[in-house]
Structure 1
Amino acid sequence: MMLFWAAFAVPALVGAQAAKPTDDCPILGPALPSDFDPSNATAIKDAISSFPSLIESLFESGAVNKSGTSFMIDVWSTQTNASIYQYSHSAETLDPYLTAGVLDDETQLRVGSVSKLFTAYALLNTAGLKVFDHYVTKYIPELAGNTDPGTIKWEEVTVGALAEQQGGTGGFPLSAISCYYTGTCSVQDFLSEMRDFKRPVIPVFQTAVYSDAGWGVLGLVLERLTNQSYAAALQSTLAQPLELVSSGATEPSAEGLNALALPRELTSWGMDNQISAPSGGVYSNTRDMRLMGLSILQSHFLSPAETREWMKPRSHTASLTSSVGAPWEIYRLSIPVSPASNRTRVSDLYTKTGGNVAYAAIFGLSPDHGIGFSILVGGETAVSERTPLRNLVGTEFVQAAEFAAFEHAQKNYAGFFADPNNESSNLTITVDEGKPGLGLPTFFVNGVDWRANVTQPALQASGDLFSIRLYPSGTEYSSSSAAGYGEGAQAVIKLFNAVAGSATPQPRSAVEGREGLFDDGCTQWENVGFFTASDFDLELVEGKLMSVLMRDSNVTMVRVE
Structure 2
Amino acid sequence: MYSLYLLSLLSLGANVAAKPNACPILGPAFPAPTEIGSDPTFIAATQNLTAQIRQAIQSGELAGNSISVQIFSESDSYAAFGLSHTDDSVRHGSVGVREVDENTVFRIGSISKLWTMLLYMTFNGTKHFQEPVSKYVPELRSPYNDSQQIDQIDYVNWDEVTIGELASHQAGIPRDYAFMDLAASAPPQALTRMGLPSLPKSERMPCGNAPFPPCNRQQFFDGILDTQPIAATSSTPLYSNAGYQILGYALEAIARKPFADILMERIIEPLRLSRSSHGMPDPSLAVVPSDLISSQFNLDIGDAIPAGGIYSSPKDISTLGRAILANTLVSPAMTRRWMKPATHTASLQVSVGHPWEIMSFKEPRLVDLYTKSGNVGMYNSIMALSPDHNAGFAILTAGNGTFALPMKLGEQIAEIMLPALEQIAKNQAARRFAGTYALEDGTSNSSITIVADDEPGLKITKWISNSVDMGQSFAEKAGLKEAPSLLSMRLQPTSLKSPGRVSFSAVIQGLNPQPTSGTILSACMTWLELDSYIYGNVGMPEFEFNLNDDGDVVSLTPRALRITLPKA
TM-score normalised over the length of structure 2:
0.84
Matches within 5 A, 1:18-97: 23-59=21-57, 64-65=61-62, 67-97=63-93
**Aligned position for 1:551:** 559
Deviations 1:337-374 (A, max 9, x none): xxxxxxxx201110001011100111110000010111
Matches within 5 A, 1:240-319: 240-254=269-283, 257-262=284-289, 263-319=291-347
**Residue type of the alignment partner of 1:42:** P
**Aligned position for 1:429:** 450
Alignment match of 1:161 (pick from 162, 165, 168): 165
Aligned equivalents of 2:299, 2:71: Cα separation in 1: 29
Structure 1 residues 475 and 184, CA, compared in 2 at 3 Å: closer, same or farther? closer
Aligned equivalents of 2:276, 2:175: Cα separation in 1: 24
**Aligned position for 2:237:** 208
Cα offset, 1:128, TM superposition: 2.6
> Is residue 349 of structure 1 aligned with residue 369 of structure 2?
yes
Matches within 5 A, 1:95-106: 95-97=91-93, 99-106=96-103
Aligned equivalents of 1:494, 1:225: Cα separation in 2: 38
Deviations 1:159-215 (A, max 9, x none): 1100001011122122486355422522011112112x2211211111211111101
Asked if 2 retains the 8 angstrom alpha-carbon contact of 1:168 and 1:202, the reply is: yes
Structure 1 residues 191 and 157, CA, compared in 2 at 3 Å: closer, same or farther? same
Asked if 2 retains the 8 angstrom alpha-carbon contact of 1:426 and 1:444, the reply is: yes
**Residue type of the alignment partner of 2:288:** A
Matches within 5 A, 1:87-236: 87-97=83-93, 99-145=96-142, 146-147=144-145, 148=148, 149=151, 150-174=154-178, 175=205, 178-179=208-209, 181-183=211-213, 185-195=215-225, 197-236=226-265
**Aligned position for 2:183:** none
Number of residue pairs the alignment of both structures matches: 508
Deviations 1:275-306 (A, max 9, x none): 22211111111121112111211112322111
**Aligned position for 1:321:** 349
**Aligned position for 1:538:** 545
Aligned equivalents of 1:274, 1:461: Cα separation in 2: 70
Asked if 1 retains the 8 angstrom alpha-carbon contact of 2:20 and 2:515, the reply is: no
**Residue type of the alignment partner of 1:209:** L
Cα offset, 1:521, TM superposition: 4.3
* Paired residue secondary structure (1:56): helix
Aligned equivalents of 1:455, 1:477: Cα separation in 2: 32
* Paired residue secondary structure (2:463): strand
Structure 1 residues 219 and 84, CA, compared in 2 at 3 Å: closer, same or farther? same
**Aligned position for 1:12:** none
Give the unaligned 5+ runs of structure 2.
1-17, 179-204
Aligned equivalents of 2:21, 2:427: Cα separation in 1: 21
Cα offset, 1:250, TM superposition: 1.1
CA RMSD of the aligned region, Å? 2.3
Cα offset, 1:453, TM superposition: 6.3
What fraction of aligned residue pairs are identical, expressed as a percent? 31
Aligned equivalents of 2:124, 2:504: Cα separation in 1: 34
Cα offset, 1:102, TM superposition: 2.5
Matches within 5 A, 1:432-451: 432=453, 434-451=454-471
**Residue type of the alignment partner of 2:174:** G
TM-score normalised over the length of structure 1:
0.85
Give the unaligned 5+ runs of structure 1.
1-19, 337-344, 480-492, 509-513
* Paired residue secondary structure (1:277): helix
Structure 1 residues 322 and 456, CA, compared in 2 at 3 Å: closer, same or farther? farther
Asked if 2 retains the 8 angstrom alpha-carbon contact of 1:506 and 1:521, the reply is: no
Deviations 1:257-284 (A, max 9, x none): 4211331331211112222221111111
| Greater alpha carbon shift after TM alignment, 317-326 vs 453-462 | 453-462
Asked if 2 retains the 8 angstrom alpha-carbon contact of 1:250 and 1:282, the reply is: yes
Asked if 2 retains the 8 angstrom alpha-carbon contact of 1:167 and 1:203, the reply is: yes
Deviations 1:523-554 (A, max 9, x none): 01111123321111112444543311101112
| Greater alpha carbon shift after TM alignment, 44-53 vs 108-117 | 44-53
Deviations 1:222-263 (A, max 9, x none): 222233333333212221222222222211135xx4211331
Cα offset, 1:459, TM superposition: 5.5
* Paired residue secondary structure (1:209): coil
Structure 1 residues 115 and 320, CA, compared in 2 at 3 Å: closer, same or farther? same
Asked if 1 retains the 8 angstrom alpha-carbon contact of 2:216 and 2:302, the reply is: no
* Paired residue secondary structure (1:231): helix
Cα offset, 1:435, TM superposition: 0.8
Asked if 2 retains the 8 angstrom alpha-carbon contact of 1:425 and 1:446, the reply is: yes
Structure 1 residues 173 and 455, CA, compared in 2 at 3 Å: closer, same or farther? farther
